[in-house]
Chain A
Amino acid sequence: MLASVDLRSALAGPFDIQVAAGECLAISGVSGSGKSLFLCMLADLDPNQGEVWLDGRPRSGMAAPAWRRLVAYAPAESGWWADGVAGHFPDLPAARALAARLGLKAGLVDGPVPRLSSGERQRLALARVLLRAAPVLLLDEPTGPLDQESVALAETLLRERLAAGTAIVMVTHDPAQAARLGQAHLVMRDGRLAPA
């Protein structure tokens, strides 16, 4: 169970949300309303006040890197720190297998990053965060630039993770996706969350 208590910053909040293990909370809202900011605050990447609890353990009692290994965040714009795709995956066989399940061409994992299309980047970034096996995933438009077929493949993987007990907080612009995956659906307006 992930729970935020009075989580806020100068720009957004307060946020009090609860997401149980195996549940997906879908968040929608217009651009600039604070959706990504909220995920950043949960991951403790932006300065914020308040507390976040994971299974009864407070975030403030943990080093930030340890927290982010439990509450892993995939931003909408993926970042790449090595020249080769393989440099981003500690377990290459697992990465190749997961890439194949996301409909990616074989060999992509062993190629260079600059040659990836935006859709390939998006899916590899999703594979990267899924392979960390964190109990909580914060996903910012994980299927944003993907075609319908690839979206279906990605959602199948996400559903498997949910069934295995992973909690997901997902920003999505697609109301149908929110309905398909989300047990709860909230809308962000001017830095505050409200029921959809």
Chain B
Amino acid sequence: MSEKKPSLGLRLYAILAYAYIYLPILLLIVFSFNTQKINVRWEGFTLHWYNELFRDQDVLLATRNTLLIAFISTLLSTIIGTLAALALQRYRFPGYTVAESILYIPVIIPEVVMGISLLVFFSLLNFRLGLTTITLAHIAFNIPFVTLVVRARLHGFDKSIEEAAMDLGANWLITFWRVTLPTIMPGVLAGALLAFTLSLDDYVITYFTAGPGSTTLPLRVFSMVRFAVTPEVNALSALWIFTVFVVLVIGQVVQRKQA
């Protein structure tokens, strides 16, 4: 569609729609600085809730767990998923369609079903639920998304530069390391970023695969919202939103530069 000056009505609608999307989040942030504890009524500015937050051992532990799980699952799923993307985009082999359809499963399966099936699986194997099981589960749901993103990047890849490298005497390992990988790197990074955010954000699957002592931030926020709504939740949310925003902007800038 080409651009065309939208009617006044449509423009007003768009403003309202963006307000609808952003207002709840802005209010959330504003009230993290409020002195009043119970009512959502503005009384005065304070940083008290942020202070509370940084002394909350549960929150700190949850942050550590979340980051640990996100880093490990991102690293492994990016490696595994990138290999799969290379295989599917470059080669034809027996089992191709099977592999491709397996990769679609997490897109079409309800999260709660994936969560309980992993719970069943781990308990049947007598696996202690905890950080390891959460990480294993995160890798599983991240692989397909990484593959999807990297494949999209490989789509326009010019194979002749690889052949040129081979002709000039590079073996396949050197060719991959010096030619292929640098070319697909933006796609790999985009896939990794997606995996990282999906892992940070996941509640449902983490909920079913978590055990004692392996609380993550989404689990922590859930129980805070459920049992004691204080501006401390607002402060935690505000910090989270801020972090995500910074990461997103950095991601955009990096992608722009490489494109």
Partners in one complex: no
